[in-house]
Amino acid sequence: MTLISDQSINTNFNTSINNRIQNVKNYLGKNFIEKKLRNGFKATIYVDKDNQIKLSLIHKDNKIKKLKSIRSNFKNDIPFRYVIF
């Protein structure tokens, strides 16, 4: 699932598009990977190894621009334990 413009949908850790990335980092912790992207964007990535799910947050100027959760094993319908849209 990917969100890129709908600001009315919140996650279970109370964030949405255009919220501050630091709020997510404070809630989910420091176990993330951060990558630099083009045009000043950054990606902060959290991985749930137990459920084989990845949460990617694309942000610029400390504001979240895109939320994306990906399951790598589609055989099991296991909900992502960190994010609920």
Contacts of 56 (CB under 8 A, 6+ apart): 43, 44, 45, 66, 67, 68, 69, 70
Residue owning tokens 């279970």:
12
The pTM of the full predicted model, rounded to 2 decimals, is 0.74
Give the mean pLDDT of the chain. Answer: 80
Question: Could you read off the pLDDT of 31-50 as tens digits, one per residue?
Answer: 999 999 999 999 999 988 88
Kindly state the DSSP code that residue 12 receives in the 8-state scheme. T
Q: Where are the domains of the chain?
A: 2-71
